[in-house]
Amino acid sequence: MIKISLKKKAEIDIDKKEKRYIQVVGLNDIDKIEKLKTMFNIQPFIMEDIINVGQRTKFEYTEEFIFASFDVIYMDQNIIKKDYMSMLYLDHTIITFHEAEPLYLEAVLPLLQTYQEVKTGTSDLLFYFILDMITDEHLEIYDELDDKMIAFEEEILESKDMQQESFYLVRKQMLQLKNIITPMNEQFEKILQRKIGLIHKENQLYFEDLNDHLQRLDLKLNQSRDMMRQLLDLHMNNQSTRMNQIMSTLTLFSAIFIPLSFLTGFFGMNFKTFGLLEAPYGVIIFTIVCIFIMSCMFIFFKKKKWF
């Protein structure tokens, strides 16, 4: 039986042919990063992408290395946060670079300690597990956002209204996740098609399974994007219908009072002789006429189903 020991070190011995996982936290420490650059002969254009956060999602690869840079959305105390990370996979060595402590990779150390296959297998297996952890985190975020979208749908159908600020926040987070997953899926699929030597044949099924997860998540995000558009259209239609109903009601009231306003203005003119104004029951007659006109117009509008 071969025993594989796991050691956590502060210094790196480049001469020893051993598997390493290096996690760099804090990209402001230029001396530390330059030391890694010299030690592992990292290309200048790779270092530029590592230091300059906010790069587009991409996977660059040769027979000597695979470099990936992408955003990560993760959950921290029920709050969705966004982070940027880059990862370099060399032979026997995997290095991840982060601006802050990557909470979404906390499971890496327990994985290295307990999973024997990672200890005895090739380094590409750890590369797969790190990407799989991030994909699982994105799947959990998607499920959380999807539940909120379903709640918005029920709210719109039941009450014909919704909380717009909350909806637009969820929509923004869903689109952020979409902008991460779609290019990540496209770039990762190219790596599998190229059959790069750093990905060994015995682990090919793991990476194909990860690619399937990315494709499935990308498909779900496309469906959710269409659903969000439909919900937004439905909400706008409900608001438009509600406004039309209000305007119709106001227009009907205005139409009813137009003849009454005419009669009031007509009888309010200063005539020298106006027999009806001098009649003992003039006010009562005028009131009855107004009520009769209002009733006739109300019945007419009701038959026309205008309200």
Q: Is residue 208 part of a domain?
A: yes
State the Cα–Cα distance between residues 160 and 281, nearest whole angstrom. Answer: 51
Let me know whether 149 and 263 are in one domain: no
Q: Is residue 58 part of a domain?
A: yes
Let me know whether 101 and 228 are in one domain: yes
Total-model pTM: 0.75
Which has the higher per-residue pLDDT, 138 or 196?
A: 138
Cβ atoms of 35 and 81 closer than 8 Å: no
Q: Is residue 145 part of a domain?
A: yes
Pinpoint the alpha helices (H) of 77-203: 108-114, 116-120, 123-159, 164-194
Let me know whether 51 and 161 are in one domain: yes
pLDDT in tens, 155-170: 888 877 778 888 888 8
Let me know whether 99 and 224 are in one domain: yes
Cβ atoms of 144 and 80 closer than 8 Å: yes
The mean pLDDT of 237-244, rounded to a whole number, is: 82
pLDDT in tens, 247-283: 888 888 888 888 888 888 877 777 666 666 667 777 7
CATH of the domain at 51: 3.30.460.20
Let me know whether 104 and 209 are in one domain: yes
Domain that holds residue 121: 20-239
Let me know whether 150 and 203 are in one domain: yes
Domain count, the chain: 2
